[in-house]
Amino acid sequence: MEGKLTCGLIGLSQGWYADLFATELLAMKDVELVGVCDLGKSRAYVEECIGMGAEEFAAKFEATLYHDAADLLGQKLDFVVVASEIGEHCENSCQALEAGANVFACKPFSFISDEVRRAREVAQRNSRIVMPAVPSRFEDGLIEAVRRVRAGDIGRPLTARVFVNHVAMTNPEWQRDPAKSGGPLGEFGTYGFDIVRWALGGEPEEVFAYGENFVHKGVIEGWDNVKALVRFDNGSLGSVHVCTSISWEYPFFDLEVVGEKGCVRTDYHNYPVVTHGTSSARLAPIRYAPMNQSEIAHFVMAVRGEEALRVTLDDAYAVARTIEAVQESLTAHRPVRIEL
């Protein structure tokens, strides 16, 4: 696909992502951000999500404001970025696909496997691509760790351990509703179960999980910590810990893969500055690769046909099925088979 690409932004609910990706797209010389759609949400709702009204947001990015996605899609766009509520991603994406646009959906695409399957079918029927955003697939340390596993540096991979740390999303209000956001398991399990599957190179077959709500009772429903053991079809074993109870500076990810001949692990305790005092040490923020910037740039290249998608709806489907099995295990207190 040659020439300048036209695009639009559907939804402002995932405000941090909406602002970040709009900023990146505006800076691309070969991309035109045509419009922004607030999906008819109230000003109070939009302000809670992005800290400003939809009119101010659209003006900030020199884009036309639309209230109905159909009107934005009527501009015959090459692609859209979907940043609506997670529970709306599938519907918004399918509408865009039917209108002929390719889709980049903010993380996670969905925590419901039937929604992923529906979007995959609509994309195939309309010969369009969908990229479910998974920023961790674009973190340099994780990329290098998986490359070394694939290269055989540690022999056959046997086990992998993944730790994901992120504050629980409690603002805006819709993120406290697990039916709309998936809760911590839906939002951050996407990272953990994708990373362990990516690292071990197999498909998940069975899972057993424990969960607890340690510090968010009365604020979010369900669990703020989940630990799951996963068996894969290649005989390997994985463990995933999704943690949203840490309030201090601590790495976002941690991955360790043990093989027959060695192990590989990431280390994100890479503070650029450490200030030592008489009674304490103070750490500067941890450094990460520009994951989100890299993934939207990759998607634009994929729309042009210059790169193959690194993450697809097949990956999103496997992760959604795993999350559903984890939820069942947490409530039934037993191992659960994962049918893909």
Would you write out the chain's pLDDT as a tens digit for each of its 340 residues?
678 999 999 999 999 999 999 999 999 999 999 999 999 999 999 999 999 999 999 999 999 999 999 999 999 999 999 999 999 999 999 999 999 999 999 999 999 999 999 999 999 999 999 999 999 999 999 999 999 999 999 999 999 999 999 999 999 999 999 999 999 999 999 999 999 999 999 999 999 999 999 999 999 988 999 999 999 999 999 999 999 999 988 999 999 999 999 999 998 988 877 787 877 777 788 889 999 999 999 999 999 999 999 999 999 999 999 999 999 999 999 999 999 9
Which one, of 226, 224, 273, lies nearest residue 245 by Cα? 224
Q: What is the reported pLDDT for 124?
A: 99
Q: Give CA–CA dist 297/290, Å, rounded.
A: 11
- Percentage helix, strand, coil, to 5, in the chain? 40, 25, 40
Rg (CA), the chain: 20
Cα distances (Å, whole numbers) of residue 171 to 48, 150, 175, 199, 219: 8, 39, 6, 32, 10
Q: Give CA–CA dist 211/335, Å, rounded.
A: 14
Q: Give CA–CA dist 29/94, Å, rounded.
A: 28
- In degrees rounded to 5, what are phi and psi of residue 203? -105, 140
The string over 295-314, giving b where at least 16 C-beta atoms fall within 10 Å of a residue's C-beta and e elsewhere, is bbbbbbebbeeeeebbbebe
DSSP 70-96: HHHHTT--SEEEE-S-GGGHHHHHHHH
Check: CB of residue 120 under 8 Å from CB of residue 313: yes
Q: Give CA–CA dist 76/315, Å, rounded.
A: 28
Secondary structure letter of residue 280 according to DSSP: -
In the three-class reduction of DSSP (H, G, I as helix; E, B as strand; rest coil), residue 276 is classed as strand
Check: CB of residue 220 under 8 Å from CB of residue 213: yes
Tokens representing 143?
Answer: 């990329």
Q: What is the reported pLDDT for 317?
A: 99
**253-259 and 263-265 as β-strands: parallel, antiparallel, unpaired?**
antiparallel
Look up the pTM and report it: 0.95
Q: What is the reported pLDDT for 30?
A: 96
Q: What is the reported pLDDT for 221?
A: 86
Check: CB of residue 228 under 8 Å from CB of residue 326: yes
Which one, of 164, 107, 157, 129, lies nearest residue 291 by Cα? 107
Q: Give CA–CA dist 127/121, Å, rounded.
A: 10
Q: What is the reported pLDDT for 278?
A: 78
Q: What is the reported pLDDT for 3?
A: 84
Domains defined for the chain, CATH in brackets: 5-133 (3.40.50.720), 136-289+313-337 (3.30.360.10)
Q: What is the reported pLDDT for 275?
A: 80
In the three-class reduction of DSSP (H, G, I as helix; E, B as strand; rest coil), residue 334 is classed as coil
